[in-house]
Amino acid sequence: MSIEVKVPNLPESVSDATVAKWHKKPGDQISRDENLVDLETDKVVLEVPAPANGVLKDISANEGDTVTEGEVLGSMEEGEAPADDESEASEKSEKKDDSEQKDDGGEDKRSKATEKDEGKSKKSQDRDLPPSARRLANEHGVDSGQVEGSGRGGRVTKGDMLKHIKSGGGPRQEERVKMSRLRSRIAERMKDAQNTAAILTSFNEVNLQAVKDIRARYKDDFQKRHGVKLGFMSFFVKACSEALQKHPVVNASIDGDEIVYHGFQDVGIAVSTERGLLVPILRNAERMSLAEIEAGIADYAEQARKGSIQLEDLQGGTFTITNGGVFGSLLSTPLLNMPQSAILGMHTIKDRPIAEDGEIVIRPMMYIALSYDHRIIDGKDAVQFLVAVKEALEDPARMLLGL
């Protein structure tokens, strides 16, 4: 019985998808619920499972094609997978065929003869090299036949060999790869942010000694109790939630000619994946404990990297935090995640000398950056927000006690 494989129901607000990758080809055996093909939307990758056991007959939508909900991707012939003994018999038959080909000496012998001729040719080329050039070729693993000679009769000189090695050992390669749908969407949103908002960035620095001390003292007990590691991000989410409540305009957004003040803090956490940057949302972050924040971030990060995150987990959000410090960034000016009006950039922690109580001491310092939409957020609000984040992190006990 022939069965059509169709595009499943797409998430709300998604009108189409792109065929990202087929995991099976026509003629392949497939099992029920086995992933046949990945479909990429603007935000997430959807897996299309096999509706039954059988064999994939044909593919109607190739990789890179745009498809809509209910469109036919291909077809399969329903049936049971072959028994193990049949598979083993097939493998033995293939091995036997390979053995017979080698015994006949046809392709196998011709292949060996070709390799032998190539070896002779290379030795002949090597004999034509002067000792200095031959030594360089051996040291750098260079095939002298790939080097253009400038000596008499086209002979390769030491200078030719040095030039070849210095240039990278051959012609410089280029590769053109079409942007993924997600990467195209990211590019579009980033450019929209620049074209729409009046983006300005303010900076401050934070002494993270108190946070480091708390983590060092309680991280083992925290992990045993809650099953997640105590990281820096939960402290930053908590500090930002406190600061957003004090400065609600930083948590606001523009809708036409109106300013929308959100009475909740849905904080987006930027997560880097192989496919691009995703920003899952921690809903009502102001109500979450450090353990709940850490667990939420860990869960979203795992889903994002596996490509199984849901579209609704990426929608909305009133404020975003991005951590370039995990990659070594010392300072940056992050771009807004529209229609949000502000984004906080974390950076790498560096031990630096600072003045503390009249003395020079070494402390773990981090630069923090707030990019904001100057259309609704004044410089005073942005600076005071950063100061509130700084104070909360430098005295986390007050923050955790709700003071």
Q: Going residue by residue through the chain (403 aa), what tens digit of pLDDT does each one get?
A: 888 999 988 877 788 889 988 999 999 999 988 899 988 887 778 889 898 899 999 999 998 889 998 999 999 998 875 444 444 444 444 455 455 444 454 445 455 545 555 454 455 455 477 778 888 888 877 887 778 888 777 888 888 888 888 776 655 567 888 888 888 888 888 899 999 999 999 999 999 999 999 999 999 999 999 999 999 999 999 999 999 999 999 999 999 999 999 999 999 999 888 777 889 999 999 999 999 999 999 999 888 877 788 888 988 899 999 999 999 999 999 999 999 999 999 999 999 999 999 999 999 999 999 999 999 999 999 999 999 999 999 999 888 776 6
Cα–Cα dist 18/141, whole Å: 43
Using DSSP's 3-state secondary structure scheme, residue 361 falls into strand
**What is 181-400's CATH topology?**
Chloramphenicol Acetyltransferase (3.30.559)
- Residue-wise DSSP of 77-126: EE-PPPPHHHHHHHHHHHHHHHHHHHHHTHHHHHHHHHHHHHHHHHHHHH
Cα–Cα dist 15/68, whole Å: 7
What are the residue ranges spanned by the domains of the chain?
2-81, 181-400
- Which helix (H) or strand (E) segment holds residue 150: the answer is none
As a residue count, the chain comes to 403
Residue 309 confidence (pLDDT): 85
Using DSSP's 3-state secondary structure scheme, residue 176 falls into coil
Cα–Cα dist 363/394, whole Å: 11
Using DSSP's 3-state secondary structure scheme, residue 204 falls into strand
Contact 163, 305 (CB under 8 A): no
Residue 121, classified by CB atoms within 10 Å of its CB into exposed (0-12), middle (13-18) or buried (19+), is: exposed
* Closest to 235 in 3D by CA, of 270, 266, 273, 206: 206
Report, at the CATH architecture level, how domain 2-81 is classified: Beta Barrel (2.40)
Catalytic residues: 374, 378
Contact 320, 268 (CB under 8 A): yes
